[in-house]
């Protein structure tokens, strides 16, 4: 499914709506169960105020993934556009219930799009499992973790085959540092509901921490399939693939996420590093130029492109003039060892080897001051090249941390939603 939506990335990123629509429809013809395609068509229809088409596509997506809480908010907007307020409210109610039960939908949504947990206070006054669950959630939000865990244990004891209850208990146990207990409850959650996105994501993160990357990849794949709007699952799947050397597939997963959410900066940067590690330098160059236009204030994109233009082994990719322009832009904002090393690459590429030696020595000195002796030793190999009048042809060392991204951990499932209008910090 994911490979079908990758070609849409450029059209969506450049607002070529007609082309993006055509490509989504072509992907659906190949795979009628392509949920990201339906979601993408629904989102574009919503933007065009074609509310009937938006409802058709988003309802289809919801039928394929009924647990995907993130689909319900745009679907509610579409119903509101049609004047069907009752159906819109039903979607918001269902979304709020999913958020209360799983802690998944709200934190997977794009920043700034939130709804309150509807009927939560009424639930506190009710009897039975609903009241127990609500009391546990409120206790968790207030940091009363012993009480929260007790409430969730009561839920599990009352209905051991309830995946929602086990997931709540797992989240609380993980928050309090009981990894083994949390792992057991996540495994039980998935035994009962293998498509549970939150449990797949969190179990994958635990597996990463244990060094079991291949098993984590399977869990992240399941999380993506269960909820096509789960950005965190896409990022973790791509990151795990990149760390395990599957750079080409990692680039495809980043592309799939960017087709759904072109504004996702971590996906853009991750895609660049995945393409570089896969040896697809020409494609990385093209994408980075696009990224600079899309994210003009973020120096990571011109910095990465500078290294590629100065030190790629592909002569068709290297561009000393453009690299010189970019390094001036970068160093106005960034002064650190990495920037010094990049400056040395550019100077060596234009034949200024004495200056390249000076900047490489600065970078080595900063690495040694930071206690990074192994890195300093590797940088001395490049220093020897410059002293011998040779440029670097390695923009990033194979063991560079950029090829081993840290996992993306979701915020706490019991966190309060931000105030209206609050954006990412």
What whole-number distance in Å separates Cα of residue 289 and Cα of residue 271? 13
What whole-number distance in Å separates Cα of residue 270 and Cα of residue 238? 8
Query: CB–CB of 190/196 below 8 Å?
Result: yes
pLDDT at residue 147, as a whole number: 93
Q: pTM for the whole thing?
A: 0.70
Q: Is 52 helix (H, G, I), strand (E, B) or coil?
A: helix
Sequence length of the chain is 425
pLDDT at residue 2, as a whole number: 46
Torsion sign across C-alpha atoms 270, 106, 225, 255: negative
Residue 264 CB coordination number (10 Å): 18
What whole-number distance in Å separates Cα of residue 337 and Cα of residue 349? 19
What whole-number distance in Å separates Cα of residue 113 and Cα of residue 266? 19
Distance set, CA 417 to CA 128, 184, 392, 410 (Å): 26, 28, 49, 14
Query: CB–CB of 272/301 below 8 Å?
Result: yes
Structural domains of the chain sorted by starting position, each given as residue range(s) with its CATH number in brackets: 2-108 (1.25.40.10), 120-247 (1.25.40.10), 293-403 (1.25.40)
What whole-number distance in Å separates Cα of residue 226 and Cα of residue 245? 25
Going by C-alpha positions, the residue among 340, 338, 302 that lies closest to residue 323 is 302
What whole-number distance in Å separates Cα of residue 104 and Cα of residue 356? 50
Distance set, CA 43 to CA 39, 93, 229, 375 (Å): 6, 20, 11, 46
pLDDT in tens, the chain (425 residues): 444 444 444 444 444 567 777 877 888 888 888 877 888 888 788 777 888 998 999 999 888 877 766 688 788 888 888 888 888 888 877 765 554 433 333 332 322 222 223 333 334 444 467 678 878 888 888 889 999 999 999 999 999 999 989 999 999 999 999 999 999 999 999 999 999 999 999 999 999 999 999 999 999 999 999 887 788 999 999 999 999 999 999 999 999 999 888 889 999 999 999 999 999 999 999 999 999 999 999 999 999 999 999 999 999 999 999 999 999 999 999 999 999 999 999 999 999 999 999 999 999 999 999 999 999 999 999 999 999 999 999 999 999 999 999 999 887 655 543 333 333 33
């Amino acid at each position: 499914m994911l490979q079908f939506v990758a070609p849409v990335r450029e059209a969506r990123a450049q607002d070529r709506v007609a082309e993006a629509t055509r490509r989504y429809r072509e992907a659906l013809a190949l795979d009628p169960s392509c949920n990201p395609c339906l979601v993408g068509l629904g989102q574009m229809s919503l933007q065009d105020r074609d509310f009937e088409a938006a409802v058709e596509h988003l309802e289809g997506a919801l039928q394929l993934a009924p647990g995907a809480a993130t689909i319900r908010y745009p679907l509610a907007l579409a119903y509101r556009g049609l004047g069907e307020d009752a159906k819109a409210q039903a979607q918001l109610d269902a979304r709020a219930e999913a958020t209360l039960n799983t802690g998944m939908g709200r934190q997977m949504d794009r920043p700034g799009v939130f709804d309150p947990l509807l009927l939560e206070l009424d639930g506190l006054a009710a009897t039975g499992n609903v009241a127990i669950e609500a009391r546990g959630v409120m206790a968790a939000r207030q940091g009363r973790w012993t009480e929260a865990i007790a409430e969730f244990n009561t839920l599990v004891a009352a209905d051991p085959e309830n995946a929602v209850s086990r997931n709540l208990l797992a989240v609380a146990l993980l928050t309090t540092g009981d990894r083994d207990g949390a792992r057991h409850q996540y495994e039980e959650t998935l035994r009962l509901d293998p498509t549970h996105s939150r449990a797949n994501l969190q179990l994958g993160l635990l597996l990463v921490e244990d060094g079991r990357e291949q098993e984590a990849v399977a869990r992240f794949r399941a999380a993506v399939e269960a909820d096509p709007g789960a950005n965190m699952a896409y990022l973790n799947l791509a990151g795990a693939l990149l760390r395990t050397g599957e750079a080409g597939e990692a680039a495809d997963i980043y592309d799939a996420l960017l087709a759904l959410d072109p504004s996702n900066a971590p996906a853009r940067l991750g895609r660049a590093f995945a393409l570089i590690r896969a040896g697809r330098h020409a494609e990385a160059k093209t994408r980075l130029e696009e990224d600079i236009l899309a994210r003009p204030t973020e120096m990571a994109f011109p910095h990465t492109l500078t290294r590629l233009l100065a030190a790629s082994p592909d002569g068709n990719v290297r561009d000393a003039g453009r690299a010189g322009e970019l390094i001036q832009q970068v160093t106005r904002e960034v002064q650190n060892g990495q920037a010094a090393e990049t400056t040395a690459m550019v100077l060596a590429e234009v034949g200024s080897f004495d200056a390249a030696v000076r900047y490489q020595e600065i970078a080595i000195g900063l690495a040694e001051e930071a206690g990074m002796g192994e890195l300093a030793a590797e940088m001395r190999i490049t220093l020897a090249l410059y002293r011998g009048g040779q440029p670097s042809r390695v923009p990033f060392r194979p063991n560079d941390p950029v090829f081993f991204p840290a996992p993306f951990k979701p915020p706490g499932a019991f966190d309060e939603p931000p105030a209206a209008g609050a954006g990412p910090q």
